[in-house]
Amino acid sequence: MTRFTIRKQDGLARTAVFQTDSEALQKLPSALECEVLFPALESGGYTNIPLCAPPSFVEQYPPVTGIQPVVIHPHLDNTAQSGDCVMASNWHTAFLNPRNYVDWLINLKEKTPVDTAWYAPASALPSNVHILCYSGFDLFDFRAVDLKTAKNRFCTPEGDFSADALSGGICTCSGCQQKNLKMHNRHALLCEIALVTRFIEGSRLRDLVESRSRLDAAHVAIMRHLDNQYEFMEKHQPVARNCVLRANSGESLQRAEVRRFAERVINRYRPPKTDVAVLLPCSAKKPYSLSQSHRKFQQAIGGRAHELIVTSPLGLVPRELETVYPAGHYDVPVTGYWDAEECAVIAGILARYFKRNPYRRIIAHLEGGALRVAQMAADLCGFILEFSCREHPASDSALNALDTALTGARRIKDDRLHGMVSYQFDVDLDTKGTTLRGHYPELFYSRKNVQIFSIDTGSGLLRPTFDGWNLIPEGYRVYIDDFIPEGDVLVPGVVEADPRIRDGDEVLVVGARAIATGRAALPAGEMLQSRRGVAVHVRKIKRV
């Protein structure tokens, strides 16, 4: 029997603990002496079928069963169970064709239980282990680095060099001090895995992958092909992270979390009842309304228009959603220059939004790239833009022009709650009679003196109370067996979950004997598929 428990997930990557009958508990990701860990590997037959072998070939050579690790292959049915270690033989050859890499990976991930350790034999190098972990592998060996040693190559996360680099001062590990290439190469792999682990624990592996992958075209291609598999990637991304989303590269535009935000603004979010919109530039400070420029914009607008912020890479952020992840969390290098792809993607988002939510007047209070994008969107869906400035939106003259443009426009109700509920739960909430207290952005909403929602200042998401959940008629429920949870709800107790639930979503736990409010620790699919671990971090329990 082997045991595998996930500790922390970051997209497909995770930290975990793994244990076999004979060996001590191992923290993953890690590189281990896998022939010691899995003695049965030596005698097991047909464990090494090439990934590109056709189905007819794979059928002729079924791998031996009943041993650890369990062989997985794109053309084999899954035989692994929760807690097993699975092995994708020859995974290093997948790097030769990034498109195949991603197709095979998705094939294997979709059919294999999520709570299994993923072993990529003879594959890990200091220069590729970031993308292997990002792809959801967690167990490695020293074969690939030892092979580099045999070829007299000195390994670093940035690639490998001839062995004279051993005395070049690049590294000062004990291997380098002893002029022992094998020791250095193994050490370099373990160091890089330790760094990757840190990034997973901080929910920031994507940042490391975007940075490391620049040195290898295959790694960039794998990241881009994975981003193109939006539906697969999106369900593995948490709805919120308590850290900055660094949009420092062109790939940020295609990142699943960035695309999900735009899709929800277009498909779920419901704007307030008004027919006048003002398009505003973003600010470096988040949430925007705490910045000086946005204070001035809001003063000039005086609540007489719906405020929409045009920004890269998110596209369009309605004012009500400015605290929500990643709108309140992204950081982007500001140069004033928007490249052609950025303009095309963001103009497409604006055009889709305005097609679904038409306004009588749209005033562009923008300059530079954001202005160009707004014009492109107007051309795409045939609306006429008004302009209250062409440059310096925060200047006195521009602010006066904005004020004048809105003369006579009716004040609209500031209804942040309505916008946030529609975005988060896809519900058109009637907010009549709700009152607000707190100090922005830490807000509490009540009705008849009973609190219904608060804003989580970390994620920027709404936290419903039991009374709040009464206003959300369906969805985001996790159904449990006939028991009263003591603390967190564990995976085995879950019988059903709304498929839209993602890691970090606010959910209502519903059972025959109790209901509970809390935050999902896993996406719905994994709650139902795994055997161990926490499904929902519970905040409050109520017997029924």
At 298, phi and psi to the nearest 5? Answer: -65, -35
Q: Is the dihedral of CA 523, 27, 32, 96 positive or negative?
A: positive
Pick between residue 187 and residue 365 the one whose CB is nearest to Zn ion: 187
Pick between residue 173 and residue 490 the one whose CB is nearest to Zn ion: 173
Pick between residue 192 and residue 526 the one whose CB is nearest to Zn ion: 192
Which residues in 218-232 are b (16+ Cβ under 10 Å) and which e?
Answer: bbbbbbebbbeeeeb
Closest residue to Zn ion: CB criterion: 171
Least distance (Å) from Zn ion to the CB of residue 130?
19
Query: In the chain, helix, strand, coil percent, each to 5?
Result: 35, 20, 40
Q: What is the contact mask toward Zn ion in residues 362 to 381, using x (rule: CB under 5 A)?
A: --------------------
Q: What is the contact mask toward Zn ion in residues 206 to 245, using x (rule: CB under 5 A)?
A: ----------------------------------------
Least distance (Å) from Zn ion to the CB of residue 254?
36
Least distance (Å) from Zn ion to the CB of residue 149?
12
Q: Which residues, 150 to 189, sit near Zn ion by CB under 5 A?
A: 171, 173, 175-176, 184
Cβ-contact 44, 166 below 8 angstroms: no
Q: Which two tokens stand for residue 117?
A: 């350790």
Pick between residue 173 and residue 381 the one whose CB is nearest to Zn ion: 173
Least distance (Å) from Zn ion to the CB of residue 209?
23
Pick between residue 96 and residue 194 the one whose CB is nearest to Zn ion: 194
Least distance (Å) from Zn ion to the CB of residue 96?
28
Pick between residue 191 and residue 541 the one whose CB is nearest to Zn ion: 191
Q: Is the dihedral of CA 61, 67, 71, 76 positive or negative?
A: positive
Distances (CA, A) of 511 to 468, 480, 490, 498, 505: 18, 5, 13, 14, 19
Q: Report which residue type is found at 433.
A: G
Least distance (Å) from Zn ion to the CB of residue 33?
20
The HSE-up count of residue 135 (CA atoms within 13 Å, CB side) is 34
Could you give the 3-state DSSP secondary structure of residue 462? Answer: strand
Binding residues with Zn ion: total (CB under 5 A): 5
Task: Look at the block and give the residue holding tokens 């529609």.
Answer: 422
Least distance (Å) from Zn ion to the CB of residue 187?
6
Q: What is the contact mask toward Zn ion in residues 407 to 436, using x (rule: CB under 5 A)?
A: ------------------------------
Distance of alpha carbon 506 from alpha carbon 538, whole angstroms: 10
Pick between residue 125 and residue 176 the one whose CB is nearest to Zn ion: 176
Residue ranges that bind Zn ion, judged by CB under 5 A: 171, 173, 175-176, 184
